[in-house]
Copies of this chain bind each other. A is one copy, B any other.
């Protein structure tokens, strides 16, 4: 079956700092026309920093659109669409938590909301950690903690970790490092 939609027109509705909203018309596989409202996003990275004792460095951060403080793994946007994702992951880990990692395992790329956002998150497992100083922006507010992976998996089961990238990243880590899961 042909599934692809082809772009006919594209209009920039809002050109923000983070979000770039476009309204496109497309040709459907049946030849009819439809509209697509979508967000062009720079791309992002997210990191599972895993200590040798099975604890993971996690953050508590207020997320305005959902009006909640969420448990999340360290993450951040790319500085440019062509920024090397591993460099960005190293930067975000250091800035937000103070940690550097000697061992990096890519866990692939994920699309958090492919129905309306082009965002792609590059996911990494970071091990062999050494602690340093956080380097937060003065307008960035987050708390850092180290919690056992096993406890975090239980928190997922109990609905205490609604952030989707964090759920997937921790579940993937438990598959890769079953001794801690």
Structural contact, A4 and B168, CB atoms closer than 8 A: no
Cβ of A143: which chain B residues have Cβ within 8 Å of it? 1, 3
The answer, yes or no, to whether A108 is at the interface (CB within 8 Å) is yes
Chain A interface residue bracket vs B: 35 or more
| Identical copies of this chain, number | 2
A residues 2-28 with Cβ under 8 Å of B?
2-5, 13-14, 16-19, 21, 23-24, 26, 28
Q: Is the interface of A mostly helix, strand, loop or mixed?
A: mixed
Cβ of A4: which chain B residues have Cβ within 8 Å of it? 62, 69
Structural contact, A118 and B65, CB atoms closer than 8 A: yes
- Which residues of A are at the interface with B, using a C-beta cutoff of 8 A? 1-5, 13-14, 16-19, 21, 23-24, 26, 28-30, 32, 34-40, 60-66, 68-70, 108-121, 138-139, 141-143, 153, 156-157, 159, 162-165, 167-168, 171-172, 175
